Chain A
Amino acid sequence: MLQVLLSGLSIGAVYGLVAMAFAVVFYVTRVINFATGQLLMVAIMLTAGLSKAGLPDWLSISVGLTASTAAGVVIYFVAVRPVLRFDRFSFAWLVSTLGVAIVLQSAAAIIYGPTSQGFPKLLNRDNLVIGGASITLQELLAIIVAVVAVVGFEIFRRRTLFGKVGMAISSDPEMASAIGARVTAYAVAAFAIGGLLAGAAGVLIGPITYANPYLGDTYGITGFVALMIGGIERPAAAMGGGLVLGVLSVGANTFIGSQASDWFPFVVVVVVLLLAPHGLFASGDALKRLASGIGRRTATLKGAN
Chain B
Amino acid sequence: MSTFLARQSPRSRRVTIGMVVLLVAYLASTFGVANGSYGTQSLVLVAAIFAILALSLDLVAGVTGLYSLGHAGLFALGAYSTTLLNSKFGWNLFLLLPLSIAGVGIVGLVLGFLSLRVSGLYFAITTFIFTLVVVVLLSDFSFTGGLQGIAGPVFPDFPPGLAFLGSSVAWCVGLSLLVTIVIIWSIRSSPLYPVLLAIRDAEPFAAAAGVRTSVMKVGIFGLSASLAGLAGWAFSFLGFISPGQFSWTVSVNILVMVILGGINTRLGPIIGAAFVSAFPVVVSIDPFLQEVIFGLIFVVVIVFFPQGFMGLVGSLARRIRARFRPTAVVVEAVEDDASTPIAYAHLAPQEAVSTTRALPAVDEVALAAKNIVFGYNRGVLALNNVDMVVKRGNIHGLIGPNGSGKSTLVNLMSGRMSPNSGTITADGVRIERLRAPARARRGVMRTFQSAVLVRELTAQENVGIGLYSRFPGIAARSPIWPLLMGARRDSRAIAQKSIAALTSVGLSSGWATTRVADVPHGVEQLTQLAAACIAEPSILILDEPLAGLSSGEVEQVSEILRGLKRAGVTVIVVEHQTRFIFEMCDEVTVLAAGELVTTGTAADVRANERVREVYLGQ
Stretch in A143-151, A202-210, A266-274, A284-292 touching the partner? A266-274
User: Contacts of B248 on A, CB cut-off 8 Å?
Assistant: 221
Does A193 belong to the interface (CB within 8 Å)?
no
User: Contacts of A109 on B, CB cut-off 8 Å?
Assistant: 288, 291
- How many chain B residues touch A (CB < 8 A): the figure is 40
Report whether A103 and B306 are in contact in the complex, using a CB–CB cutoff of 8 Å.
no
Instruction: Give Cα A7 to B535, complex, Å.
Output: 65
Report whether B129 and A92 are in contact in the complex, using a CB–CB cutoff of 8 Å.
no
User: Contacts of B125 on A, CB cut-off 8 Å?
Assistant: 228, 232
A212-268 at interface with B (beta carbon < 8 Å): 221, 225, 228, 232, 259, 262-263, 266
Does B15 belong to the interface (CB within 8 Å)?
no
Report whether B294 and A102 are in contact in the complex, using a CB–CB cutoff of 8 Å.
yes
Instruction: Give Cα A277 to B303, complex, Å.
Output: 32
Instruction: Give Cα A102 to B291, complex, Å.
Output: 7
Instruction: Give Cα A228 to B294, complex, Å.
Output: 29
User: Contacts of B298 on A, CB cut-off 8 Å?
Assistant: 95-96, 98-99, 102
CB contact under 8 A between A262 and B140, given known A99-B298, A228-B129: yes
CB contact under 8 A between A106 and B292, given known A92-B306, A99-B302: yes
A171 to chain B, nearest CB (A): 15
Report whether A106 and B306 are in contact in the complex, using a CB–CB cutoff of 8 Å.
no
Does A83 belong to the interface (CB within 8 Å)?
yes
User: Contacts of A82 on B, CB cut-off 8 Å?
Assistant: 303-304
Stretch in B116-124, B204-212, B469-477, B600-608 touching the partner? B116-124
A270 to chain B, nearest CB (A): 6
B99-138 at interface with A (beta carbon < 8 Å): 114-115, 117-118, 120-122, 124-126, 129, 132-133, 136-137
Report whether B299 and A99 are in contact in the complex, using a CB–CB cutoff of 8 Å.
yes
Does A55 belong to the interface (CB within 8 Å)?
no
Query: A95 contacts which of B114, B122, B132, B255 (Cβ < 8 Å)?
Result: B255
B73 to chain A, nearest CB (A): 12
Report whether A259 and B140 are in contact in the complex, using a CB–CB cutoff of 8 Å.
yes
B278-322 at interface with A (beta carbon < 8 Å): 286, 288-289, 291-292, 294-299, 302-304, 306
Instruction: Give Cα A105 to B114, complex, Å.
Output: 34
Does B256 belong to the interface (CB within 8 Å)?
yes
The DSSP consensus for interface residues of chain B is helix
B10 to chain A, nearest CB (A): 38
User: Contacts of A101 on B, CB cut-off 8 Å?
Assistant: 295
CB contact under 8 A between A95 and B256, given known A103-B292, A106-B295: yes
Instruction: Give Cα A278 to B121, complex, Å.
Output: 11
Report whether A86 and B306 are in contact in the complex, using a CB–CB cutoff of 8 Å.
yes
Does B80 belong to the interface (CB within 8 Å)?
no
21 CB contacts below 8 A, A to B, read A79-B303, A91-B67, A91-B121, A92-B306, A94-B69, A95-B252, A95-B298, A96-B298, A96-B303, A99-B302, A102-B295, A103-B291, A103-B295, A103-B296, A110-B289, A114-B288, A221-B132, A262-B140, A266-B132, A266-B133, A273-B115
Closest 9 CB pairs of A and B: A99-B298, A102-B295, A106-B291, A103-B295, A99-B299, A82-B303, A96-B302, A99-B295, A106-B292
User: Contacts of A299 on B, CB cut-off 8 Å?
Assistant: none
User: Contacts of A228 on B, CB cut-off 8 Å?
Assistant: 125, 129
A289 to chain B, nearest CB (A): 13
B27 to chain A, nearest CB (A): 34
Does B259 belong to the interface (CB within 8 Å)?
yes
User: Contacts of A263 on B, CB cut-off 8 Å?
Assistant: 136-137, 140
Instruction: Give Cα A259 to B255, complex, Å.
Output: 32
Does A70 belong to the interface (CB within 8 Å)?
no
Report whether B140 and A277 are in contact in the complex, using a CB–CB cutoff of 8 Å.
no
User: Contacts of B122 on A, CB cut-off 8 Å?
Assistant: 277
Report whether A107 and B118 are in contact in the complex, using a CB–CB cutoff of 8 Å.
no
Instruction: Give Cα A100 to B294, complex, Å.
Output: 10
Does A87 belong to the interface (CB within 8 Å)?
yes
B295 to chain A, nearest CB (A): 3
Does A133 belong to the interface (CB within 8 Å)?
no
The DSSP consensus for interface residues of chain A is helix
A93 to chain B, nearest CB (A): 8
A261 to chain B, nearest CB (A): 11
Q: Which residue of B lies closest to A113 (CB)?
A: B288
Known: A91-B124, A96-B303; 4 extra A-B contacts, CB below 8 A, are A100-B295, A102-B291, A103-B299, A266-B136
Report whether A94 and B67 are in contact in the complex, using a CB–CB cutoff of 8 Å.
yes
Q: Which residue of A lies closest to B306 (CB)?
A: A86
B87 to chain A, nearest CB (A): 24
Report whether B288 and A98 are in contact in the complex, using a CB–CB cutoff of 8 Å.
no
Report whether B129 and A277 are in contact in the complex, using a CB–CB cutoff of 8 Å.
no
Report whether A110 and B137 are in contact in the complex, using a CB–CB cutoff of 8 Å.
no
Instruction: Give Cα A101 to B296, complex, Å.
Output: 10
Instruction: Give Cα A269 to B139, complex, Å.
Output: 18
Q: Which of B114, B125, B296 has the largest number of chain A CB atoms within 10 A?
A: B125
Does A78 belong to the interface (CB within 8 Å)?
yes
Q: Which of B136, B248, B298 has the largest number of chain A CB atoms within 10 A?
A: B298
Instruction: Give Cα A228 to B123, complex, Å.
Output: 12
Q: Which residue of A lies closest to B259 (CB)?
A: A95
A159-199 at interface with B (beta carbon < 8 Å): none
A68 to chain B, nearest CB (A): 18
Report whether A83 and B129 are in contact in the complex, using a CB–CB cutoff of 8 Å.
no
B53 to chain A, nearest CB (A): 16
Report whether A110 and B299 are in contact in the complex, using a CB–CB cutoff of 8 Å.
no
B310 to chain A, nearest CB (A): 16
Query: B302 contacts which of A92, A107, A259 (Cβ < 8 Å)?
Result: A92
Instruction: Give Cα A263 to B295, complex, Å.
Output: 28
Q: Which residue of B lies closest to A91 (CB)?
A: B67
A89-146 at interface with B (beta carbon < 8 Å): 90-92, 94-96, 98-103, 105-107, 109-110, 114
Q: Which residue of B lies closest to A264 (CB)?
A: B136
Q: Which residue of A lies closest to B126 (CB)?
A: A273
Report whether A99 and B136 are in contact in the complex, using a CB–CB cutoff of 8 Å.
no
B452 to chain A, nearest CB (A): 13
Q: Which of B288, B291, B294 has the largest number of chain A CB atoms within 10 A?
A: B288
CB contact under 8 A between A92 and B259, given known A99-B299, A110-B292: yes
User: Contacts of B299 on A, CB cut-off 8 Å?
Assistant: 78-79, 96, 99-100, 103
Query: B129 contacts which of A100, A262, A269 (Cβ < 8 Å)?
Result: A269
Q: Which residue of A lies closest to B296 (CB)?
A: A103
A18 to chain B, nearest CB (A): 15
Instruction: Give Cα A263 to B243, complex, Å.
Output: 14
Instruction: Give Cα A98 to B304, complex, Å.
Output: 16
Q: Which residue of A lies closest to B303 (CB)?
A: A82
CB contact under 8 A between A277 and B117, given known A110-B288, A110-B289: yes
Instruction: Give Cα A82 to B124, complex, Å.
Output: 21
User: Contacts of B306 on A, CB cut-off 8 Å?
Assistant: 83, 86-87, 90, 92
CB contact under 8 A between A106 and B136, given known A92-B306, A95-B252, A99-B295: no
Report whether B133 and A270 are in contact in the complex, using a CB–CB cutoff of 8 Å.
yes
Instruction: Give Cα A87 to B298, complex, Å.
Output: 17
Instruction: Give Cα A87 to B117, complex, Å.
Output: 24
B148 to chain A, nearest CB (A): 16
User: Contacts of B133 on A, CB cut-off 8 Å?
Assistant: 266, 270
User: Contacts of B256 on A, CB cut-off 8 Å?
Assistant: 95
User: Contacts of B297 on A, CB cut-off 8 Å?
Assistant: 99
User: Contacts of A221 on B, CB cut-off 8 Å?
Assistant: 132, 248
Q: Which residue of A lies closest to B140 (CB)?
A: A263
User: Contacts of A262 on B, CB cut-off 8 Å?
Assistant: 136, 139-140
